[in-house]
Structure 1
Amino acid sequence: MPGSRGVAGGPRARRVAVLRCVVAALVVTVLLAGLAVLVFWLVVRPKPIEYTVASAVVRHFNITVPPGGGGTAALNATFYLTLAADNPNRRLSMRYESLELYVHYGSGEEAPQLAVANVPDFRQPSRNETRLEVRAVARSAPVADRAAQELEHDRAAGEVGVEVRVRARVCFKVGLVRSRHYDMRAVCSPVVIGLSPTSARSFRSVPCDVAIS
């Protein structure tokens, strides 16, 4: 009957109308979010953060090999590193809530870790280069036989090549707006450090590859 069809179709029509409103609201939200991101980029124009190993010195470099060839060799050394963190942005400041520095021998995932250091939290203003003086100590760091032989060769040659890795937890701030937290990673390689007391004068700065996710 016509009356029955009208009653049955009423709720369905309302559900369709509500669904259309929800879809329209989602589309508008996405468009507004995209517009906000575009406006933010046009206003802020963020530039990449740059990291550089500006200076590097190693002291008390010593490899201990167990007598008779048994056991694992160990490295003792103190790495004094200066990291230059450059924020070239005009309106964007940064807050580092954690920063860890690792010294590895060689490169790649299998490169043995020699030393680690933690840097206290700090804030970096816009258009600022912050220099971080880091002391990373290797205390009986275990190294495999092959790595120990290569380190002995490096000591005889008077210089050692390492890879410096940085991991940090950062957030960005523009005016009163603060972003969520991001993971920042930097890899600096090869960092060739002379072992003589005067080697710091001839050290050449090493730029780092930086990724933020």
Structure 2
Amino acid sequence: MPATGRRSRRVAVLRCIVAALVVTVLLAGLAVLVFWLVVRPKPIEYTVTGALVKHFNITAPPAAALNATFYLTLAADNPNRRVSMRYESLELYVHYGEGEGAPQLAIADVPGFHQPSRNETRLEVRAVARAAPVADRAARELDHDRAAGQVAVQVRVSARVCFEVGRVRSRHYDMRAVCSPVVIGLSPKSARSFPSVPCDVAIS
């Protein structure tokens, strides 16, 4: 076969591949658009509705450490009419202070679960700090909080989720929620008057 013919055939094959890719992308985009128009997904909402801390004790610096047990109640609200959610994993972190660099005090793992549409699921979480190391400045602030009878923390939730419409399941997404400030009284009676704290939720 002449070189010109082989080149023409390669060009034709390349054009077919490019056309197929373009059609695939357009169909995928159309499917996403139709899904959104039909389902119209609403944002997921998280709220800390209850908080209590027990056995709160901070050792003096240097080499300061915190021992405490945080009992937290979170309300996970899925307001969607057609979309249910499947949590493959969920972790909760308790941090002291604001910002990304806030020291971590405690962590808890929550078993995966399925959340139906139009459902509010209550999560009862127990996060334990066992000799959690804290910087000297944070230790002094925590000791001041102990004397004042309340401590303000930041609660973070990290989860791996997917969405389901009927038998169709989406790919997995990372969900993060940040709830701050969560002010917890150190006396058992304070749990009765705990004000709910809404969380900022992001899914990527």
Q: Same fold (TM over 0.5)?
A: yes
Counterpart of 2:88?
A: 97
Per-residue CA deviations over 1:154-196 (Å, capped at 9, x if unaligned) read 1111110000011111111111111111111111110001112
Q: Separation in 2 of the partners of 1:130 and 1:160?
A: 26
Counterpart of 1:150?
A: 141
Q: Separation in 2 of the partners of 1:15 and 1:144?
A: 66
The normalised TM-score by structure 1 is 0.91
Shift of 1:77: 1.0
Counterpart of 1:55?
A: 50
5, 18, 26: which one pairs with 1:10? Answer: 5
Q: Separation in 2 of the partners of 1:195 and 1:9?
A: 84
Q: Are 2:180 and 1:189 equivalent residues in the alignment?
A: yes
Structure 1 runs of 4+ off > 6 angstroms?
none
Letter in 2 for 1:37: V
Shift of 1:7: 4.4
Counterpart of 2:115?
A: 124
Letter in 2 for 1:131: R
Letter in 2 for 1:152: D
29, 49, 55: which one pairs with 1:34? Answer: 29
Q: Separation in 1 of the partners of 2:186 and 2:15?
A: 71
Higher Cα Rg: structure 1 or 2?
1
Q: Are 2:106 and 1:111 equivalent residues in the alignment?
A: no
Counterpart of 1:76?
A: 67
Structure 2: stretches of 5+ with no match in the other structure: none
Structure 1: stretches of 5+ with no match in the other structure: 1-5
